[in-house]
């Protein structure tokens, strides 16, 4: 088979991005935001009130704890870490970060860019191994942890209430320990209802740690991946420090795109209703993956996660097989994410984890990709 | 008079931003860029080819030397400096920057944020005092210079060919000396034709310094201030280092706004044609300022710049009067930029420079503001 199929990244497909053509192409009847701001001019660097309100509803925080950004949540996470270093809170030559793995490769490359040492802890179906996390947080050089609390990348796990409570309550030796709460998929369920998630900020407040969490979310996989709207939410000194940096750094985010989003999406309920359309498109693809894996993995020793939302299926091959599976797929023209990419320093100690991204493919491509992938699993396992 | 007039910032007025309503509200017939990219999806972090081409024409560089950004040129300048520090090229605890003054206050606050020491050199009608610049560049701790080469903020001066040649040719002791070439007003002439400016990158290449300049420009005052498109252009190692950071930092800029801009503006000639509409709106305002200052400054000792473009008129009061003039204006309800803001550390040694920003005001407001301002000049001078 001479295929050319790319299943490496969590990209929405053409049908999904077309769901927002109306938002992009409806003329704006006027350019004035709720607070009287002409969105075409300068002014305002933390977002329009109507867009803050939607984010506040989605993240269950107060609107004044939200700072609206541009179109890339990675960018505001990167900037947040840069700022922690510049304001002297973190010393990059000594700082260490807790990285639940398998995890999101782009989180890890941000740490690498800044020279922050990464400490791997195992992911479990209820979140990171909290015994390991609590132990590491006692190290005064450990400055933070990466978390994707809902439909974690790549396994699609959702943090349990106990995990959130322990993250909020645990002592941390570093005075500026931060939880990077990358809530990338809060409404991205394709099976069943939106999963419940305990509010990390409220939990932290109970223990006088309101400075600890920084929450991020994004419309990239709600509206359009190339031009969504992102935000962060935080409190206390954490929020104040970010505001200070932003006032030096930028003349403010694109307010026209914010107004388009706010007028199209209106509120969290209507966002959730819109996400049902995404679910209709994605569910058959994931079900096709699950069915194929169930049938073909039998007897190979390979296992897979079966998420109710998010963008990936995570596969565990027998030990020492992940690189080989990826190689076999590549030779047949099916690209999957590099083996190891889901671990800090691309170091998967048992060479078992693979991330499969079905969303961007057409049904036909997906079926071909699955045929190749499952055959590769069987061959490598043998 | 109980006025409430804000002439502090270089903001376009409502009539100017309305010139691009058509761009904002014309439905996109399709979402595919010249290179086949679906602008609604992920992918591409240095810009659409059609947008790069427009910038390349405006800055007279190759399209592959352009990286297209979001909507804030301040943001990409800030990031460039952050990157120079992170990659170890600049040591912020020792780095010094040459700051021609009067200059742009937001350049100075970026340096302050990073703890970079600022060294003031005088501005002249042909650019910074080049004898002073050449002398400072011999200091191995001096890492760069801020330049607004066309219609400098606030005086509206244009760098002469000799200034550009000397900046390109001068020896610099620091191996990573950079010229921050903030070409914010390249097509923003409201009187006469677009001013000629020697190409800094080409000049630097003649002396084997292609890594030296980083050029920035922006559509914020061409299309809409709240949602323009910005870019940087550079070469050699400078460009490579920026590309590397961007790949870690972001999933890429908003490509939909790029496509809107590229389809509306098409090429540099059509940008220049569009700017004639801005000129028609701005010229009467600046002429009104010039006429008022000419009439009222006589005998006060105050002088002013008379630019053919840009967003400001710079005023030199008699020594020790600038703060007093600003105070008098404020008491009458007319806000102008803080005295001193045009100097590093807000330190105008003779307390003489004031920046007047007429663009945002209606003709009526402008006339009232001028009456107050000129009276304040007379009072303070007396």
ipTM given for this complex: 0.95
| Residues of chain A positioned with their CB less than 8 A from the CB of B113 | 86, 245, 248-249
| Residues of chain A positioned with their CB less than 8 A from the CB of B14 | 38, 41
| Residues of chain A positioned with their CB less than 8 A from the CB of B28 | 24-25
The confidence score (pLDDT) of residue A276 equals 98
| Residues of chain A positioned with their CB less than 8 A from the CB of B35 | none
B185-197 tens-digit pLDDT: 999 999 999 999 9
Token pair recorded at residue A75: 């960018």
- Contact between chains at B254 and A70 (C-beta distance less than 8 A): yes
Query: Which residue among B17, B31, B72 places its CB closest to the CB of A251?
Result: B72
| Residues of chain A positioned with their CB less than 8 A from the CB of B43 | 11, 226
Calculate how close chain B gets to A294, using CA atoms only, in Å: 31
Q: How far apart are CA A49 and CA B94, in angstroms?
A: 41
B106-139 tens-digit pLDDT: 999 999 999 999 999 999 999 999 999 999 999 9
Query: Which residue among A11, A25, A41 places its CB closest to the CB of B41?
Result: A11
Mean pLDDT (chain A) is 97
Quick check: B248 contacting A, CB < 8 Å? yes
Residue A108, C-beta contacts closer than 8 angstroms, at least 6 positions apart: A99, A118, A343, A344, A345
- Average pLDDT in the B260-265 region? 98
What Å distances lie between residue B238 and B17, B81, B233, CA to CA? 34, 12, 10
pLDDT category, B365, cuts 50, 70, 90?
A: very high
Nearest CA in chain A to B19: A40
Q: In what order do the strands lie in the sheet with A127-128?
A: A66-68, A230-233, A213-218, A178-182, A142-147, A96-101, A117-124, A127-128
pTM of the model: 0.96
- Contact between chains at A224 and B256 (C-beta distance less than 8 A): yes
- Contact between chains at A225 and B24 (C-beta distance less than 8 A): no
What residues in chain A have per-residue pLDDT under 50?
none
Nearest CA in chain B to A258: B227
The share of chain B scoring above pLDDT 90, in percent, equals 96
Instruction: Number of A to B CB contacts under 8 A, please give it.
Output: 159
B 276-335 residues with CB < 8 A to A: none
The confidence score (pLDDT) of residue B1 equals 61
Q: How far apart are CA A286 and CA A192, in angstroms?
A: 13
- Contact between chains at B226 and A110 (C-beta distance less than 8 A): no
Quick check: B45 contacting A, CB < 8 Å? no
Residue pair B353/B321 in contact (Cβ under 8 Å)? The answer is no
| Residues of chain B positioned with their CB less than 8 A from the CB of A20 | 40
Residues B159, B160, B162, B165, Cα dihedral to 10°:
50
Nearest CA in chain A to B28: A25
User: Taking the CB of residue B350, how many other CB atoms lie within 10 A of it?
Assistant: 13
Nearest CA in chain B to A114: B86
The confidence score (pLDDT) of residue A1 equals 61
| Residues of chain B positioned with their CB less than 8 A from the CB of A21 | 31
A229-271 tens-digit pLDDT: 999 999 999 999 999 999 999 989 999 999 999 999 999 999 9
User: Taking the CB of residue B283, how many other CB atoms lie within 10 A of it?
Assistant: 15
The confidence score (pLDDT) of residue B2 equals 75
B296-344 tens-digit pLDDT: 999 999 999 999 999 999 999 999 999 999 999 999 999 999 999 999 9
Query: Which residue among B12, B28, B226 places its CB closest to the CB of A255?
Result: B226
- In terms of DSSP bridges, do strands A353-356 and A313-316 run parallel, antiparallel, or are they unpaired? antiparallel
Q: How far apart are CA A322 and CA A164, in angstroms?
A: 31
Give B315's Cβ-side CA count (13 Å radius).
31
Quick check: A347 contacting B, CB < 8 Å? no
Quick check: A23 contacting B, CB < 8 Å? no
Quick check: B224 contacting A, CB < 8 Å? yes
Token pair recorded at residue A10: 């969590």
Quick check: A218 contacting B, CB < 8 Å? no
Nearest CA in chain A to B25: A27
Mapped to the 3 state alphabet, what secondary structure does B150-194 carry?
A: CCCCCCCCCCCHHHHHHHHHCCCCCCCCEEEEECCCCCCECCCCC
A303-333 tens-digit pLDDT: 999 999 999 999 999 999 999 999 999 999 9
B63 CB burial (10 A radius; 0-12, 13-18, 19+): middle
| Residues of chain A positioned with their CB less than 8 A from the CB of B250 | 72, 74-75, 78
Calculate how close chain B gets to A233, using CA atoms only, in Å: 19
Nearest CA in chain A to B80: A249
β-sheet bridge partners, residue A121: A100
Query: Which residue among A41, A226, A245 places its CB closest to the CB of B42?
Result: A226
Quick check: B6 contacting A, CB < 8 Å? no
Quick check: B257 contacting A, CB < 8 Å? yes
- Contact between chains at B14 and A38 (C-beta distance less than 8 A): yes
β-sheet bridge partners, residue A106: none
Q: How far apart are CA A184 and CA A182, in angstroms?
A: 6
User: Taking the CB of residue A294, how many other CB atoms lie within 10 A of it?
Assistant: 11
- Average pLDDT in the B75-93 region? 94
Query: Which residue among A40, A112, A254 places its CB closest to the CB of B257?
Result: A254
Q: In what order do the strands lie in the sheet with B96-101?
A: B66-68, B230-233, B213-218, B178-182, B142-147, B96-101, B117-124, B127-128
Quick check: B109 contacting A, CB < 8 Å? yes
Token pair recorded at residue A127: 């979140």
Nearest CA in chain B to A18: B40
Quick check: A220 contacting B, CB < 8 Å? yes
Residue A156, C-beta contacts closer than 8 angstroms, at least 6 positions apart: A305, A306, A307, A308, A309, A310, A312, A313, A314
Query: Which residue among A11, A42, A114 places its CB closest to the CB of B225?
Result: A42
């Amino acid at each position: 088979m001479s295929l050319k199929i790319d299943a490496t990244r969590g990209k929405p497909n053409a049908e999904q991005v077309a769901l927002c053509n109306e938002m992009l192409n409806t003329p704006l009847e006027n350019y004035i935001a709720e607070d009287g701001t002409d969105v075409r001019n300068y002014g305002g660097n933390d977002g329009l009130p109507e867009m803050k309100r939607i984010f506040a509803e989605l993240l269950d925080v107060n609107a004044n704890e939200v700072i609206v950004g541009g179109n890339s949540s990675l960018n505001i996470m990167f900037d947040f870490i840069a700022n922690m270093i510049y304001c002297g809170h973190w010393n990059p030559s000594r700082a260490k970060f807790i990285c639940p793995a398998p995890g999101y490769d782009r989180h890890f490359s941000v740490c690498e860019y800044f020279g922050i040492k990464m400490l791997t802890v195992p992911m479990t179906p209820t979140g990171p191994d909290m015994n390991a996390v609590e132990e590491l947080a006692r190290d005064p050089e450990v400055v933070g942890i990466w978390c994707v609390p809902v439909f974690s990348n790549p396994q699609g796990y959702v943090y349990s209430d106990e995990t959130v409570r322990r993250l909020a309550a645990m002592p941390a030796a570093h005075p500026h320990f931060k939880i990077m709460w990358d809530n990338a998929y809060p409404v991205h369920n394709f099976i069943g209802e939106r999963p419940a998630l305990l509010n990390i900020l409220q939990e932290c407040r109970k223990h006088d740690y309101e400075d600890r969490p920084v929450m991020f979310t994004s419309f990239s996989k709600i509206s359009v991946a190339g031009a969504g709207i992102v935000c962060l939410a935080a409190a206390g000194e954490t929020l104040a420090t970010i505001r200070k940096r932003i006032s030096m750094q930028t003349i403010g985010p694109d307010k026209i795109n914010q107004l388009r989003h706010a007028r199209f999406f209106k509120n969290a309920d209507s966002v959730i209703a819109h996400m049902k359309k995404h679910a209709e498109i994605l569910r058959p693809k994931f079900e096709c993956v699950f069915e194929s894996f169930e049938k073909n993995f039998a007897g190979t020793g390979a296992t897979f996660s079966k998420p109710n939302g998010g963008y990936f299926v995570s596969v565990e091959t027998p030990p020492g097989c992940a690189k080989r599976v990826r190689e076999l797929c590549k030779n047949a023209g099916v690209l999957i994410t590099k083996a190891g990419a889901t671990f800090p320093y691309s170091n998967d100690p048992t060479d078992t984890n693979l991330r499969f991204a079905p969303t961007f493919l057409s049904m036909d491509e997906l079926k071909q990709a699955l045929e190749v992938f499952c055959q590769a699993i069987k061959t490598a396992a043998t």
